[in-house]
């Protein structure tokens, strides 16, 4: 199903106020169809509240959210059957088995057929590796198993959009890898995936796009390369000819950021590439031409983590 809109999720000035406190303020999200969209931010930055607004669980104080071409929460009835979601951890009936829980939640979707329910539940459980535990009561599940069951619930019918809020929470490293490959698989099938996390490494590996939240506001958004700062970082040069190298680099328009203590005759120079026009290969050519002896030359890309910390602050404090 594809509608005219090119965006799977689009919000304009989305704001949610609780009392005096803006949990989400003026968020303008643009999630393209087919993207794996990482929704990043520290704890308490408004990620889950935004997701609740997108899914029609909460009403925005102001602004609007359009999901799969339908305004939320007004068009929930036609939008949500096409959306699978895991919101703020799994929620299940502890006294029912894993597969009975999925049966129960599937009956709430009037677009899902009863005839195929059994098969779909089994397929979803299989997809998250829970087939062996499907008859066990959920109260006997570990946190990681509940998390898997939550993801299975999001996959009960074919979805156009998956919203996964901290999907790897409580999972072991093996489970985290499985979720990553599952997301890749789903994206390859054409599903748009909106995945929130406070763990960057997870997101960086699977996303095509990302947005960064801080204290309720969207501070950055774009493709991963755009966010990393055009994919450029810095060069680190090891050379005994520090002075000569410095002058060559300066001539190329680069600012040599730091010249740490020369150990013996060896110096290490770091030059920032952001904003520079010269390619790394040209820098090496220029250095060699000028007779600089190069012992080591490394191009370091800005990691998303650096950007994340730049934008949200490095501290552990929960910002309000």
Partner 1 sequence: MLSSEPMTVPTVSGQPLGDEVDVRARPAAGWALLRSEISVLFRRKRTWAMLVALAAVPILIALAVRLTESNPRSNGGSGPAFLDEITHNGLFVAALGLTVCIPLFLPLTVGVVAGDTIAGEASAGTLRYLLIAPAGRLRLLVVKYIGAAVFSLAATLTVAAAGALIGAALFPIGPVTLLSGNTIGVGESLVRSLLIASFITISLLGLSAIGLFFSTLTDVPVGAMAATIVVSVVSQVLDNLPQLDWLHPWLFSNYWLSFGDLLRDPISWTSFGENALLQGAYFIIFGALAFGRFSTKDVLS
Interface with partner 1 in residues 133-192 (CB under 8 A)? 153, 157-160, 188-192
The CA distance from 158 to 223, in Å, is 26
Instruction: Choose which of 20, 119, 260, 261 interacts with partner 1 (CB under 8 A).
Output: 119
Burial of 42 (0-12, 13-18, 19+ CB in 10 A): buried
**C-alpha to C-alpha distance for 140 and 98, rounded to whole angstroms:** 10
Residues 6+ apart with CB under 8 A from 48: 87, 88, 165, 196
Alpha-carbon radius of gyration of the chain: 24
> C-alpha angle 271/277/278, rounded to 5°?
65
Q: CB–CB of 151/87 below 8 Å?
A: no
CB nearer partner 1, residue 80 or residue 133: 80
Per-residue contact string for residues 4-23; x = within reach of partner 1 by CB under 8 A = ----x---------------
Is there a contact between 318 and 42 (Cβ–Cβ < 8 Å)? yes
Out of 14, 27, 67, 83, the residue judged to bind partner 1 by CB under 8 A: 83
Query: Which of 71, 112, 290, 309 is the binder for partner 1 (CB under 8 A)?
Result: 112
**Pairwise CA distance, residues 87 & 89, whole Å:** 6
- Each residue 39-78 as x (binds partner 1 by CB under 8 A) or -, in order, gives -------------x--xxxxx----------------xx-
The verdict on 103 binding partner 1 (CB under 8 A) reads yes
Q: How far is the CB of 164 from partner 1 (least distance, A)?
A: 13
Q: Which residue has the tokens 């950007």?
A: 307
Binding to partner 1 by CB under 8 A, coded x per residue (else -) over 235-274, reads ----------------------------------------
- Regarding 131 and contact with partner 1 (CB under 8 A), the answer is no
How far is Cα 159 from Cα 149, in angstroms, rounded to an integer?
16
Residues 300-319: x where in contact with partner 1 by CB under 8 A, - otherwise, as a string: xx-x----------------
What residues line the site for partner 1 (CB under 8 A)?
A: 1-2, 8, 32-35, 52, 55-59, 76-77, 80-83, 85, 87-96, 103-116, 119-120, 123, 153, 157-160, 188-192, 204-205, 207-208, 224-225, 300-301, 303
């Amino acid at each position: 199903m594809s509608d005219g809109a090119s965006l799977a999720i689009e919000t304009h000035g989305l704001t949610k106020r609780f009392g005096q406190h803006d949990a989400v303020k003026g968020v303008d999200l643009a999630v393209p169809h087919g993207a794996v969209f990482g929704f990043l931010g520290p704890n308490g930055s408004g990620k889950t509240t935004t997701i609740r607004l997108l899914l029609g669980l909460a009403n925005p104080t102001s602004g609007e959210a359009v999901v799969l071409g339908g305004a939320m929460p007004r068009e929930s009835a036609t939008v949500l059957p096409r959306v699978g979601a895991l919101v703020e951890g799994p929620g299940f009936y502890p006294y029912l088995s894993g597969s009975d829980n999925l049966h129960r939640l599937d009956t709430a979707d009037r677009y899902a057929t009863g005839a195929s329910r059994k098969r779909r539940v089994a397929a979803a459980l299989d997809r998250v590796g829970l087939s062996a535990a499907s008859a066990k009561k959920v109260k006997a599940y570990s946190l990681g198993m509940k998390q898997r069951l939550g993801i299975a619930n999001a996959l009960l019918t074919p979805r156009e959009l998956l919203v996964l809020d901290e999907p790897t929470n409580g999972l072991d490293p093996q489970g985290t890898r499985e979720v990553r490959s599952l997301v890749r698989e789903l994206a390859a099938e054409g599903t748009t995936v909106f995945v929130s996390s406070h763990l960057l490494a997870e997101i960086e590996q699977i996303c095509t796009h990302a947005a960064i939240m801080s204290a309720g506001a969207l501070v950055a958004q774009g493709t991963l390369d755009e966010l990393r700062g055009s994919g450029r970082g810095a060069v680190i040069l090891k050379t005994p000819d520090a002075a000569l190298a410095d002058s060559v680099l300066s001539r190329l328009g680069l600012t040599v950021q730091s010249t740490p203590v020369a150990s013996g005759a060896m110096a290490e120079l770091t030059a920032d590439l952001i904003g520079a026009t010269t390619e790394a290969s040209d820098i090496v050519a220029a250095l060699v031409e000028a007779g600089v002896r190069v012992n080591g030359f490394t191009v370091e890309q800005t990691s998303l983590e650096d950007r994340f910390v730049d934008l949200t602050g490095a501290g552990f404090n929960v910002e309000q």
